[in-house]
């Protein structure tokens, strides 16, 4: 990293995530990043930064973007505002890091990505799970062919338990107009991103989504989805915010063996002979390939948010490749959209998803939403970006 160089970062949205990022920067955990400005319509959220030297406070998004105080912006607002504020930031020539998901629906993702026209700007997404060594090693195994052709994927991610108190903490929470969805849009974007990052995008999705199964909310809190790939691989994705203690277990079966990731364990049961070969050459009806039981060592869960922020700074200062380019964020949004569209319309959805059809479907849901805040359409409408998710 270039000596004595620092990126002046501004954070817009000081809810749970925005304030956490600000704390990490102020504690000096991110070389090359200086917190230069914070913006939140709720002035009470700004009081924590009044005594921080060199940090300018804003309650208005327009003033924040026009100030010239920042080189880069981290957008940590509710979901709908990611698109609008991201477009403004890109048009101002700023480097941009967007919290997950990059937008609520595929069409908005396309609008945001279309605003990125200058490759000298760094445009990144906060997909911090990509820093986890377990998933990095699994991706390497897949890419190097150690698992062979993938046959089956199952991810049960049900440790997202949330209480009624959580959902009551903000009127925008778990509403079509406030968030645009439930567990798929709020809690699971990281797993949906990892799914496409590891396994690619499926060709078909068939899902069952239950609205308000465990909570008094209008969006989905329980999902089971079946995914099909043209090469014959199938997948099942199960998630909910209504189960405790919950599970986070990823199982991947390939021609050359099976990987199970749960907790800090990474178990690889490797076939000595590929399944398809053994099936064709075995001389006994119940014979199975001999296996090696391998515990692949991993330590911890990576640098997570801090790692993404470090990478963002190095990308700006030194041209380091991004861990997660923002344009890749469209894939996880499309997966979540497809699951909702399939489940609520009781039909199989072919991918690529029809972005316009899903946007129209979502607008119908918004029209009946209990949360009446207008979905942000211009930067002047960004009047509620203080909430966190």
Fold classified for 130-301+332-367: Dihydrodipicolinate Reductase; domain 2 (3.30.360)
Question: Cis peptide before 338, with omega less than 30 degrees from 0?
Answer: no
Where in the chain are the domains?
A: 7-127+304-323+375-381, 130-301+332-367
| Mean per-residue pLDDT, 212-216 | 98
Residue 160 contacts residue 286 (beta carbons within 8 Å): no
| Sequence-ordered list of residues with C-beta below 8 angstroms from that of 232, at least 6 positions apart, any chain | 151
- Examine the pLDDT at 384 and tell me if it is beyond 70: no
Residue 120: count of CB within 10 angstroms of its CB: 7
- Among residues 297, 232, 226, which one has the least CA distance to residue 261? 297
Integer Cα distance of 297 and 133 in angstroms: 9
pTM of the complete model: 0.93
Band (3; pLDDT cuts 50, 70, 90):
low
**Percent of the chain at pLDDT exceeding 70:** 95
Written as six digits, the tokens of 288 are: 């199975």
Q: Using CA of residue 26, residue 33, residue 188, residue 367, what is the dihedral sign?
A: positive
- Examine the pLDDT at 347 and tell me if it is beyond 60: yes
- Among residues 257, 226, 261, which one has the least CA distance to residue 338? 226
Model confidence over 235-275: pLDDT tens digits? 999 999 999 999 999 999 999 999 999 999 999 999 999 99
**Mean pLDDT over each residue of the chain, to the nearest integer:** 94
> In 257-311, at which residue ranges do the beta strands (DSSP E only) sit?
257-262, 265-271, 291-295
One of 3.30.390.30, 3.40.50.720, 3.30.70.940, 3.90.1150.180 is the CATH number of 7-127+304-323+375-381, namely 3.40.50.720
DSSP-derived 3-state class of residue 45: helix
- Among residues 12, 59, 77, 5, which one has the least CA distance to residue 34? 5
Residue 202: count of CB within 10 angstroms of its CB: 24
């Amino acid at each position: 990293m270039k000596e004595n160089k620092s990126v002046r970062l501004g954070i817009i949205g000081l809810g749970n995530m925005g304030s956490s990022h600000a704390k990490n920067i102020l504690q000096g955990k991110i070389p090359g990043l200086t917190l230069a400005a914070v913006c939140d319509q709720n002035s009470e959220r700004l009081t924590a930064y009044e005594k921080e030297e060199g940090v300018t406070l804003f309650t208005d998004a327009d003033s924040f973007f026009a100030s010239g105080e920042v080189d880069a912006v981290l957008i940590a607002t509710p979901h709908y505002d990611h698109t609008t504020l991201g477009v403004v930031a890109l048009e101002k020539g700023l480097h941009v890091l967007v919290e997950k998901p990059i937008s609520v629906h595929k069409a908005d993702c396309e609008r945001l990505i279309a605003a990125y026209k200058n490759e000298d700007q760094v445009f990144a997404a906060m997909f911090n799970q990509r820093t986890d060594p377990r998933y990095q090693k699994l991706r390497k195994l897949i890419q190097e062919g150690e698992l062979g052709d993938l046959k089956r994927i199952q991810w049960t991610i049900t440790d997202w338990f949330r209480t009624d108190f959580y959902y009551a903490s903000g009127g925008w929470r778990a509403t079509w107009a406030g968030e645009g969805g439930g567990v798929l849009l709020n809690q699971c974007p990281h797993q949906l991103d990892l799914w496409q990052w590891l396994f690619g995008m499926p060709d078909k999705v068939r899902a069952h989504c239950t609205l308000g199964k465990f909570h008094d909310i209008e969006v989905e809190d329980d999902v089971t989805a079946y995914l099909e790939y043209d090469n014959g691989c199938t997948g099942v994705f199960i998630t909910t915010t209504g189960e405790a203690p919950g599970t986070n277990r990823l199982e991947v079966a390939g021609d050359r063996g099976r990987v199970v990731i749960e907790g800090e364990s990474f178990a690889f049961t490797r076939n000595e002979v590929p399944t398809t070969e053994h099936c064709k050459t075995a001389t006994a009806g119940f014979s199975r390939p001999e296996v090696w039981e391998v515990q692949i060592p991993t330590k911890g869960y990576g640098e997570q948010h801090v790692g993404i922020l470090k990478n963002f700074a190095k990308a700006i200062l030194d041209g380091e490749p991004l861990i997660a380019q923002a344009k890749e964020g469209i894939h996880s949004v499309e997966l979540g959209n497809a699951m909702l569209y399939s489940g609520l319309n009781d039909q199989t959805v072919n991918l690529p998803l029809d972005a316009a059809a899903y946007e129209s479907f979502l607008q119908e849901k918004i029209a009946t939403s209990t949360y009446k805040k207008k979905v942000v359409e211009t930067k002047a409408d960004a009047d509620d970006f203080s909430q966190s998710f």
